[in-house]
Amino acid sequence: MKFSLQINEGPYQHQAADSAIQFTKAALAKGHEIFRVFFYHDGVNNATRLAIPPQDDRNITAEWVALQKEHNLDLVVCIAAAQRRGLIDEDEMTRQGKDANNISEGFRISGLGQLIEAGIEADRLIVFGA
Amino acid sequence: MAKKFMYINRKAPYGTVYALESLEVVLIGAAFDQDVSLAFIGDGVYQLTKGQNTKAIGQKNFSPVYMALGDYDVNKIYVEKESLEERGLSLEDLQHLVWEDEDNDYEEKDSIRLVSRAELTDVLDEQEVILSF
């Protein structure tokens, strides 16, 4: 089956972020396809490469990056939600005249149309959080 | 082939950002020519109330945007009857949302469909993509 995921909550604050990773791993292990993972609301915070969780805790962003590399996942961060919350990539940094960027490798920034398309293309859209 | 998209709105309009960001998805999604429905349940029914005034909390009052949904061909708006009643509200407290029926001489029709919890269950059962906010 072809799945799309929508993640609505940030890491560590809310279990939704963890559940989404665990779902992704389980689905891939069963041979399912993940069409796209779309990060929305505070879920965009899963994409920051500047988070420093304690060493004895999980690193959610790093887990996504590892999964992305292994399975070539399409990890999309909503641009409107991200800009509101100070999550930007290098291109946006330049365009907006900001002095830093924080989006991790493995993620890409795009619009809400990507979420709708994810719903159209997948057999199931699973919403985590909210 | 259009899919049946349902946006479920469950939160009050200003306590969290979910209502506003749900509306943003609905407006973008309208460009994709899908079969779109909205449902308002629980505290989500407050999103549609008329006479909202956000001046004292310093946030943007986005409630007028719901009035424009008809122009985006978003005209199936389900409001759960029990959720209204539990909050002491009725249809009279909500904005009068309408759409113009192109196939019927642009007749103005109501967008809001007041449904019971049981009826809404059936509506949800028909959907293909459900996004909850």
Instruction: Check CB contact under 8 Å for A125 and B29.
Output: no
* Per-run averaged pLDDT (10 residues), chain A, 130 residues: 97 95 98 98 97 94 98 97 96 96 97 97 94
CB pairs under 8 A between A and B: 47
Contact B7, B25 (CB under 8 A): yes
Tally the domains of chain A: 1
Residue A105, H or E segment: none
Q: What does the pLDDT read at residue A130?
A: 75
A123 near B CB under 8 A = no
B3 near A CB under 8 A = yes
Domains of chain B, each with CATH number or no CATH: 4-132 (3.40.1260.10)
Range of the domain at A72: 2-128
Where are any strands of DSSP class E within chain B? Answer: 4-9, 35-40, 77-80, 98-101, 107-110, 112-115, 129-132
CA A106 from centroid of its chain's CA atoms? 9
- CATH code of A39's domain: 3.40.1260.10
Does the complex come out with an ipTM higher than 0.90? no
Percent above pLDDT 70 for chain B:
100
Instruction: Check CB contact under 8 Å for B21 and A40.
Output: yes
Instruction: Check CB contact under 8 Å for B32 and A41.
Output: no
Instruction: Evaluate if residue B75 carries a pLDDT over 80.
Output: yes
Residue A75 annotated among the catalytic residues of the structure: no
Instruction: Please report which confidence band the pLDDT of residue B125 belongs to, taking 50, 70 and 90 as the band edges.
Output: very high
Tell me the pLDDT tens digit for each residue of B42-62: 999 999 999 999 999 999 999
A28 near B CB under 8 A = no
Q: What does the pLDDT read at residue A102?
A: 97
CB-CB neighbors (< 8 A) of A115 in chain B: 25, 29, 131
Instruction: Check CB contact under 8 Å for B32 and A113.
Output: yes
**What's the N-to-C CA distance of chain B in angstroms?**
25
Least CB–CB distance from A41: residue in B18, B29, B32: B18
Distance from CA of A46 to the nearest CA of B (A): 17
Distance from CA of B20 to the nearest CA of A (A): 10
Instruction: Check CB contact under 8 Å for A120 and B34.
Output: yes
